[in-house]
Amino acid sequence: MRHGAWPHMGQIVLIVLVLTLVATACGQRGATRQQQEVTLYLDWAIDGLHAPFFVALKKGWFEEAGLKVDIQPGQGSSDAVKVVGSGKAQFGFADAATMTKGAAAGAPVKMVAVLVRRTPAVFICKKGSGITAIKDLAGKSIGDAPQTATATLLPAVLEANGSKMADIKFVAMTFPARVPAVLEGKVDCALGYAQEFVMIRDKVDFLPYYQFGINSYSSGIMVNTDFLKNNADAVRRFVQAALRGHEFVLQNAKEAAEIAASYSKEPQNNTAYFIGELEVMVPYYADDEVTKNGHGWMSDDRWKITQDLMRKYGGQEKELALTDLYTNEFLKK
Partner 1 sequence: MAWELLARRGDIPTFVLPPPSRIVSFTLGHWQSMLYHAAVTIRQALLGFLLSVSIGIFLGVVIVQSKFLEEALFPLLITSQVIPTIAIAPLLVLWLGFGSAPKIAVAFLISFFPIVINTVTGLKAVEADLLYLVRGLSATRWQELFKVRFPNALPYLFAGFRVSITLSLIGGVVGEFVSADQGLGFLILTGAGRLLTEQVFASIGLLGLAGIALFNLVRVLERLILPWEASENIG
Applying CB under 8 A, which of residues 18, 19, 37, 175 lies at the interface with partner 1?
175
Q: Considering the rule CB under 8 A, would residue 91 count as an interface residue with partner 1?
A: no
> Pick from 1, 313, 294, 58: which is nearest to 160 by CA?
313
Q: Does 199 bind partner 1 (CB under 8 A)?
A: yes
CB distance 80 to 47 below 8 Å: no
E strands present in 128-178: 141-144, 169-172
83 in contact with partner 1 (CB under 8 A): yes
Instruction: Identify residues 22-51 at the interface with partner 1 (CB under 8 A).
Output: 39, 44-46
- Please report the sign of the dihedral spanned by the C-alpha atoms of residue 147, residue 148, residue 149, residue 153: negative
| 227 binds partner 1 per the rule CB under 8 A | no
Find out whether 322 and 110 touch, Cβ atoms under 8 Å: no
Q: From the list 32, 33, 176, 333, which residue makes contact with partner 1 (rule: CB under 8 A)? A: 176
User: Which of 214, 198, 205, 161 is closest to 282 using CA atoms?
Assistant: 198
Asked if residue 68 binds partner 1 (CB under 8 A), the reply is no
Is 183 a residue that touches partner 1 (CB under 8 A)? yes
The pairing of strands 141-144 and 189-193 is parallel
Q: Where are the beta strands (DSSP E) in 216-328?
A: 219-224
Task: For residue 73, state whether it binds partner 1 (rule: CB under 8 A).
Answer: yes
- For position 106 contacting partner 1 by CB under 8 A, the verdict is no
Task: Please report the sign of the dihedral spanned by the C-alpha atoms of residue 119, residue 285, residue 116, residue 97.
Answer: negative
Part in contact with partner 1 (CB under 8 A); list of ranges 73-81, 123-131, 159-167, 226-234: 73-81
Q: Is 276 among the residues that bind partner 1 (CB under 8 A)?
A: no
Q: Does 312 bind partner 1 (CB under 8 A)?
A: no
Nearer to partner 1 by C-beta: 44 or 248? 44
List beta partners, residue 110.
223
Taking residues 287 to 306 in sequence order and writing x for each that binds partner 1 by CB under 8 A, - otherwise, the string is --------------------
CB of 46 to partner 1, least distance (A): 8
Applying CB under 8 A, which of residues 38, 40, 52, 74 lies at the interface with partner 1?
A: 74
**What are the backbone dihedrals phi and psi of residue 224, each rounded to the nearest 5 degrees, phi first?**
-70, 125
71: helix, strand or coil: strand
Give the number of residues in contact with partner 1, rule: CB under 8 A: 27
The H or E element containing residue 124 is strand 121-126
- Cβ-contact 127, 206 below 8 angstroms: no
109, 179, 278, 280: which one contacts partner 1 (CB under 8 A)?
A: 179
Binding site for partner 1 (CB under 8 A): 39, 44-46, 70, 72-75, 79, 82-83, 86, 88, 175-176, 179-180, 183-184, 196, 199, 265-268, 273
